Structure 1
Amino acid sequence: MTTAETAPAGGFTDDERAAIKTRAAELRAEGKKGAKKADDLQAVIDAVAKMPPADRELAERVHSTITATAPELAPKTWYGMPAYANAEGKIVVTFKHSGKFKTRYSTIEFQDAAILDEGDIWPVSWAIPAWTPTVEATIVKAVAAAIRSS
């Protein structure tokens, strides 16, 4: 693998960063609505870049996983955190990094627009102390369920 293919400390690779910038430019070229989407995407990338390294690594993996699983969700910031909204502009899922509120772990949290209702009780928030294949699979499954219902 070349350096561009290998992510430093598990974060975005140089190729992934270039693809994000290219997508933002494509959105801006679409006109006013596209420019808003590009600005929202850039705000997410900027928010992630400001995070402490461990949180940033998790946020980058969460972003990649959510956008690959549900490209119809629009990245934007919500209270300064990365968030992903449905076509109606309602937030479906957010990433809250541990540095934001000085907590022990980062979380991925689903909002009301993600109707994950199952039985009498269901999870809407997961702690993510580290990125693993199990974490990724859980996020993929939850996001897929959330977009089927939103």
Structure 2
Amino acid sequence: MKRFKLIPVGAAMALFLAASASAYAVSVSPAGAISLTGATTLTKGIVSVSCTANFVGSVTSSGAISITSAKFSGGSLCTGVTAAQLPWTGAVTSSTGLSLNGVAVNTLLGACGPSTVKASITQNATLRETTIGLTSQALSGGCTVSGTLTTTPFLTIN
């Protein structure tokens, strides 16, 4: 009969945690202040409002995100969209995605959020452009948000 050697539970957990940490580790450069600007569409019920979003915040070299200001401009209905419950915090989860928690806005038709929003990240080194894509992200209150935002400065995410 063969004998099996068992790895102590503590050692097995340490190996698992080390492997998990490296699987989700990202590096963002440059770290510091960031702004995101672009076209967004907020839908609540049957009403859609297309605005230009301007977000200001920061990102750390390890990918932690904090959005401290969010303003919306454009058509007359955009003035009725205001950010709520700032700061919104989250993280760059990979070189192609991020997650932002607590996203909430007030509209003339009522509140949307707070909810977690997931977005795609596209890096174009030739154009030195990083874009954040939102595709029909649901917010509590019967709302969805879509859009494409460009970061300043250009971010390199590994």
Query: Is the TM value for this pair above 0.5?
Result: no
Greater fraction of residues in helix: 1
Greater fraction of residues in strand: 2
Q: Which has the larger radius of gyration?
A: 2
- TM-score, normalisation: structure 2: 0.27
- TM-score, normalisation: structure 1: 0.28
